[in-house]
Amino acid sequence: MEALRVARYIINKCIELEKPISNLPLQKIIYFVHIGFLKKTGKQLITDKDFEAWQWGPVIRDVYHEYRIFGSNALSIPEEDSNLDLDKSEKEIVDKIIDESTELPPWELVKRSHNPQGAWIKVYKEGSKNIIPSELIEEEAEALENE
């Protein structure tokens, strides 16, 4: 599925929950949704873009650039073209992760994305924006299964 479509869905869901988010938490939530979906279904949710290891955690570059003009302001305008082609149980997985993530402050989301056993920490190098290999994301999802 397209990363921007998932991002639009997350933005709209957060608006619906009356908890609009900025680009920083959007990046973390999209990662948590992706890894949680992988954990529960064994399938990659986002298939068209890679996550990169940036200073504040995993980022999808195209999603970041799409919303960077908003700076740290909330993304509070509903997005079009945000339908996720998922069955009911898959959509429930996504919605639950979004709902749980919006309960946390942005810097807690960053902290959680810096999981000491996670994919980000294994790839991050200061000043670089290295691609996080899907194999490492899969390993992180498997480790979550054992918790």
| The model scores a pTM over 0.85 | yes
- Type of residue at 131: I
Confidence of residue 104 (pLDDT cuts 50, 70, 90): very high
What is residue 79's predicted lDDT score, i.e. its pLDDT? 86
What is residue 147's predicted lDDT score, i.e. its pLDDT? 55
- Nearest-10 crossing angle of helices 23-41, 134-145: 70
Domain carrying residue 135: 3-145
Report how far apart, in Å, the C-alpha atoms of 136 and of each of 63, 104, 142 are: 21, 25, 10
Rounded to whole angstroms, the Cα distance separating 141 from 121 reads 14
Number of folded domains that form the chain: 1
DSSP element (H, E) containing 5: helix 3-16
DSSP element (H, E) containing 91: helix 88-101
Region 41-70 average pLDDT: 97
Region 93-99 average pLDDT: 98
- Type of residue at 128: S
Burial degree of 38 (CB within 10 A; 0-12, 13-18, 19+): buried
Reported as a single tens digit per residue, the pLDDT across 128-144 is 999 999 999 999 999 88
What is residue 118's predicted lDDT score, i.e. its pLDDT? 95
What is residue 146's predicted lDDT score, i.e. its pLDDT? 61
